[in-house]
Structure 1
């Protein structure tokens, strides 16, 4: 019987234990939250995909500067159709065609950086087999041909791409590093929101315990006639407000917990317990130093340079489009025969030179107008860039001033938090012996709560300003070194 009871007990324990197990509690520091956000957050994944797009775009541009080997072929092509044919007397008739053809060509193409033209080295073979009438086979070979296609007076797109694309890629790399710092700032925001919620719950629970204790003491004093009914009702109202505040704080805590977990891609059954940072980044910054590093490293500087070059390119393109002249030249050899081998024996020169041009004689100022429009657009871009540069420098100045001022603000708020807690503890003891009123006690409680919340908020602002500086200058001011990233390794992982 005892064994049966033991089995039943074990069975019930096994069935109920999983349901009753508490959720995992994970203590997390601010540095851990930032590190997790950089590697697991959706924002980090978006930044990485944008970097990969820029990386392969730049690789494609680089590949266009290298020789390209192409093979094209028709194997086979069959034709059985009618086509018009002019007789000696000028009349036309239709003749039947029934033949098969095959051809193949290998070419090595190279863009010419200096002039913007294309140079190609070609070799090809063509085969024709007549299937009706006088049947025959025919081969035509071009063992080697050198072809040049060169625009004259037109804009050299290759030259401009060599100026624009490296700047665009440098802009993308800097933007990626800035984006990772923005991910860190988002993590800081969610972390301190949860930390403040946790502190608010701690405050609310302590206030509720104190309100309960004070209310019980007040009821006893009221029975002895030591306090008025109004004071008793005030303390009862404080107790109800403390319960309501705790409920609101718990709801806010759960919402901020969900946000941080979702951002860090952490399981829903994990309860995060944030820890108040006991240290802060030690850094002394100056406006000139931050401005210099921002101009050298920030993607904004590359963006300014790229947009200026692109505006100049549009002007050059409009001027080049005013007249279109194209040079085409080919030098090589060709041979024909009924047999494949003989098509390469008796070779003859094969030379073609063409100069085509299109110069408007009367276009009612259309092309000249396009040049003026592009020049006006360039002036607009330059004006916008000057304005954006001024705002960028101004924002850096404000940020540096706020960061340098924030250390002092943090020291003041920490001292105020310590004093407010000591004052409240003293007032609770004083109220217990009837030396102060409930109004004084409530005032000290509000001051204590606000001072603690202000300290957490000032701590958040310090970390936020610091990472804003990192994001702008791409510089670790506490370690006094640049924020670098192995782009090749990041893209390929």
Structure 2
């Protein structure tokens, strides 16, 4: 199953206020995914997640930068090295400008970086003799490489990838929650419509019963108490219809809001679909859920972070050495064309050393701290996974229980309808009193509501299982984002 991949849906005339639109439950879900405000917000969140990942990945591709200074003014006393090696402090007034082009590439496999650069600099001297000089470095290649340290580049890139997958799973969880909200709103509107129709039928039935009771009372076949009881039932039916109509209107407005429809649209809902036949194996479901669940990724990301912290703490006890090396060409001249003639070689090599000698046991304590945190995270992960397995098993067993409950509710609905028909016919021929008829009517209404409520609970429970496992049990494959 893929989220945000929609089957064709005929929406011609959605914006027309006079158009009546009929939707099944699946079509409501598709429409909610396509134009509902919740799904629209989730699509923007997906764009943000993708853009954030692309920005992180771009850091590990070649980076081209242009930098410069113009003008830079300096008037101060500086140390000037003389030809004989002595140093004199002389006042200087100068203006300098520079332009540099740099191409840098981070190295994931080693944790260092390599670069190519080209630069141009001009220095103007003011004073007794106004003069200026150019200095150029047409091409310089270099490397910066930390030694004996944790590979920050490789860790950060892998962390970004894992975090990206985790965010997508979290977004998928939100999408399935949005689907569940659509189903809940759909059933809310269906049940409200069913209650309104029942109230209309009840009112019609109670009207007929009341008029029949009046005639029977007029000829002395029933007592006044039974007439009053039928009149009271008629009034209660009128109140029930008014309440049911209001609830139906509110339920439709809520569903339209979730689906992104205007209030003026006349929305008609088809009856809920039968629940599909799904073969559920607890052990197989738990195994699949473990592999694709949000919890699985969260634990792996947490363990990865703690393992790197331990590696960093251990590396901190070793000498921190950074190798810097470069080679290229440079030249200086007072005229621009001469800058690129008879280029001179330049080489630089530097080893920067930072060696811990004594820190009162701080680094050892840091290692123990991070090891303890890693083990604690592993213990919590095992416990959470055990709870998660129980949750998946509970969802499956609850789903099976609700399937049986739906079968019972369907049978009870059939029996209640038959019972009411029998009671009504017997009342018409005077074999039962009004109380028995009203009880049969109430049982029929209750059985019908219980059936739709059971069907709603079954669908919601199924979507809870899908969301928790991120697995489509109908298609027997993981749920993904396209």
Counterpart position of 1:443: 439
Q: Is 1:245 matched up with 2:240?
A: yes
TM-superposed CA distance for 1:60, in Å, is 2.2
Counterpart position of 1:258: 253
Aligned partner of 1:413 among 403, 409, 416: 409
Q: Give me the TM-score of the superposition, normalised by structure 2.
A: 0.88
Aligned partner of 2:461 among 453, 465, 474: 465
Contact kept? 2:392, 2:469, Cα under 8 Å:
no
TM-superposed CA distance for 1:136, in Å, is 1.8
Counterpart position of 2:23: 28
Please, which moves more after superposition, 304-313 or 64-73?
A: 64-73
Aligned partner of 1:232 among 227, 230, 248: 227
Residues 84 and 246 of structure 1: is their aligned pair in 2 closer, same or farther, counting only changes over 3 Å? same
Contact kept? 1:221, 1:227, Cα under 8 Å:
yes
Q: Is 1:130 matched up with 2:125?
A: yes
TM-superposed CA distance for 1:177, in Å, is 3.5
Q: 1:281 aligns to what SS in structure 2?
A: coil
Contact kept? 1:172, 1:299, Cα under 8 Å:
no
Counterpart position of 1:51: 46
Counterpart position of 1:219: 214
TM-superposed CA distance for 1:423, in Å, is 0.8
Residues 394 and 416 of structure 1: is their aligned pair in 2 closer, same or farther, counting only changes over 3 Å? same
Question: Any unmatched runs of 5+ in structure 2?
Answer: 1-15
Q: How does 1:390-429 map to 2 (within 5 A)?
A: 390-429=386-425
Number of residue-to-residue matches in the alignment: 463
Aligned partner of 2:106 among 95, 108, 111: 111
Counterpart position of 1:9: none
TM-superposed CA distance for 1:78, in Å, is 4.0
Contact kept? 2:17, 2:264, Cα under 8 Å:
no
Residues 422 and 395 of structure 1: is their aligned pair in 2 closer, same or farther, counting only changes over 3 Å? same
Q: Is 1:380 matched up with 2:373?
A: no
Residues 251 and 83 of structure 1: is their aligned pair in 2 closer, same or farther, counting only changes over 3 Å? farther
Residues 166 and 215 of structure 1: is their aligned pair in 2 closer, same or farther, counting only changes over 3 Å? same
Q: How big is each residue's C-alpha offset from its partner over 1:45-103, in whole Å with a ceiling of 9 and x where there is no partner?
A: 232222222212222232222222222222x3141634456899x99977251x33222
CA RMSD of aligned residues (A): 2.6
TM-superposed CA distance for 1:481, in Å, is 4.4
Aligned partner of 1:184 among 179, 196, 217: 179
Aligned partner of 2:65 among 60, 70, 74: 70
Q: How does 1:308-327 map to 2 (within 5 A)?
A: 308-322=303-317, 324-327=320-323
Please, which moves more after superposition, 248-257 or 158-167?
A: 158-167
Q: 2:140 aligns to what SS in structure 1?
A: strand
Counterpart position of 1:6: none
TM-superposed CA distance for 1:309, in Å, is 0.7
CA distance in structure 1 between the aligned counterparts of 2:478 and 2:128, rounded to whole angstroms: 80
TM-superposed CA distance for 1:457, in Å, is 1.0
Q: Is 1:141 matched up with 2:166?
A: no
Q: Give me the TM-score of the superposition, normalised by structure 1.
A: 0.86
Q: How big is each residue's C-alpha offset from its partner over 1:98-156, in whole Å with a ceiling of 9 and x where there is no partner?
A: x3322222222111222211111222221122244212221112233222222223221
Q: How big is each residue's C-alpha offset from its partner over 1:395-417, in whole Å with a ceiling of 9 and x where there is no partner?
A: 11111112233333222211211
Residues 317 and 41 of structure 1: is their aligned pair in 2 closer, same or farther, counting only changes over 3 Å? farther
CA distance in structure 2 between the aligned counterparts of 1:39 and 1:225, rounded to whole angstroms: 65
TM-superposed CA distance for 1:176, in Å, is 3.4
CA distance in structure 1 between the aligned counterparts of 2:129 and 2:109, rounded to whole angstroms: 52
Contact kept? 2:145, 2:323, Cα under 8 Å:
yes
Q: Once superposed, which parts of structure 1, at least 4 consecutive aligned residues long, lie more than 4 Å away?
A: 21-24, 84-88, 90-94
Counterpart position of 1:167: 162
TM-superposed CA distance for 1:428, in Å, is 1.4
CA distance in structure 2 between the aligned counterparts of 1:205 and 1:41, rounded to whole angstroms: 32
Please, which moves more after superposition, 108-117 or 76-85?
A: 76-85
Contact kept? 1:25, 1:271, Cα under 8 Å:
yes
Contact kept? 1:78, 1:100, Cα under 8 Å:
yes
Counterpart position of 2:294: 299
TM-superposed CA distance for 1:207, in Å, is 1.2
Q: Is 1:371 matched up with 2:367?
A: yes
TM-superposed CA distance for 1:289, in Å, is 2.5
Contact kept? 1:48, 1:176, Cα under 8 Å:
no
Aligned partner of 2:36 among 31, 34, 41: 41
Please, which moves more after superposition, 190-199 or 395-404?
A: 395-404
CA distance in structure 2 between the aligned counterparts of 1:72 and 1:137, rounded to whole angstroms: 21
Residues 330 and 338 of structure 1: is their aligned pair in 2 closer, same or farther, counting only changes over 3 Å? same
Aligned partner of 1:282 among 264, 277, 282: 277
Please, which moves more after superposition, 312-321 or 257-266?
A: 312-321
